[in-house]
Amino acid sequence: MKRFPCMLAMSAGMVTSMASAEITVTFQRLLPALSANDMTPDGRWIVGETDVNGDYFPDGTYRYDRLNDVFFMLPAQGINATAISDDGGVILGDMPDPTGIGSNVAARWTLQTNWVSLGFLPRAGACPSRSDGYELSADGSVAVGLSWDGCSGRGFVWRQSTGMEELEPLANGGNRASVVSADGTIVGGFAQGAFSRTPATWNGVSTDGDLMDPPAGEVQGEVYGMSDDGSLLLLGWLDGAAGDVSERATKWTAAGGLETIGAGSLLPGWGGIPQDIADDGTIVGFDFLLGNRRAWIQPGGEGPLVELKAWAESHGAVVDIPLGLHVPQAISRDGRYIVGHTSYEGAWLLTINHVPSCAGDATDNGTVDFDDLNLVLANWSQTVTPGTDGDVDC
């Protein structure tokens, strides 16, 4: 596709003023959702658990279509919904163990199949589950999670073509595969290290694994998230030998190695837990201390961590949750949507809107092309927030 560079006929000062003045954030409760566990990269589909009766306990699972504002209650067999494919058609979670031995097994839902068990690894008893699903590849054909050997966790990779396979056991057992790249080839999670959980990765094809702190895994932490292609990992990192007293929110790349995100946490002495990253580098996560959580954002992936509720309110959001936004679970690829949940307050959605920095550049990517034209035509004659959804003249 031919692209045309965006030429500006205004001063740098005018550009800066317009961009900063026109950023707006809106807040929305996702009732009756109790949790929002995952969101598609385009920000359309969200999955989690419901609390229809209002007792603060999950009583079902859902898929929410943000574009059309439609809640779809998933069939009752689903115990939880933890991940969703990029097109919204495949959901990963857990269902009651069909054998009646364990409390649950990892399961996969589609509209055509309903909930279907992914099975479990050999020797998996009931501790209390036999397997648990955590994350899906982009097309939903690869799932990762854990199964058991007695009460020691083992990471697994499940492929639609071959079924469930054990990932290489690392360190002292207690392994879990928590996240997977879009193509299903890179897996992140943790193993039981010298003291506690220690970050670990696996090859999703060969199943070979590595500790990120070999050979014994003395560093405490785990891999919490990654970029779509798996080239950037988000993890917690507590190196007692280096003087750390709590997990530092950290990102890792092969080229740059480990890099602390901001100061490592929003609040001194709290553990920093990064959750997800947008294409522009924006990272969302939360601090944790003794059961307490505080959500934060690092806009653009640079500078200090900022308390998420305060940041949203500074850009116009009315956040009617006194306890704050505890856990942001996901951010869309373009950084416009953030979902998460708060204890006793349920799931929520933040929508970030801003005026494009170049007239005609509706997608705000520095070029004027057919993507911009398609966005304008898709919203023709519709009422939209100024500067968003194809409104290039505000």
- Which carries the bigger pLDDT value, residue 369 or residue 46? 46
Averaged pLDDT, 343-350: 96
pLDDT at position 3:
31
- Which carries the bigger pLDDT value, residue 36 or residue 361? 36
pLDDT at position 381:
80
Residue 15 has pLDDT above 50, yes or no: no
Q: Which CATH class is domain 4-378?
A: mainly beta
Residue 10 has pLDDT above 70, yes or no: no
Domain boundaries, the chain: 4-378
> What does pLDDT average to over the chain?
91
Could you give the CA distance from residue 159 to residue 141 in angstroms, rounded to a whole number? 6
Coil, helix or strand at residue 211: strand
pLDDT category, 23, cuts 50, 70, 90? confident
Residue 342 has pLDDT above 90, yes or no: yes
| The amino acid at 47 | V
If you write DSSP's letter for every residue of 131-192 in order, what string do you get? Answer: EEEEEE-TTSSEEEEEEEETTEEEEEEEETTTEEEEPPP-TTS--EEEEE-TTS-EEEEEEE
The pTM for the full model equals 0.87
Residue 390 has pLDDT above 80, yes or no: no
The 10s digit of each residue's pLDDT in 131-178 is 999 999 999 999 999 999 988 999 999 999 999 999 999 999 999 999
Residue 393 has pLDDT above 70, yes or no: no
Averaged pLDDT, 282-307: 98
Could you give the CA distance from residue 98 to residue 92 in angstroms, rounded to a whole number? 17
Could you give the CA distance from residue 182 to residue 230 in angstroms, rounded to a whole number? 8
- Which carries the bigger pLDDT value, residue 105 or residue 10? 105
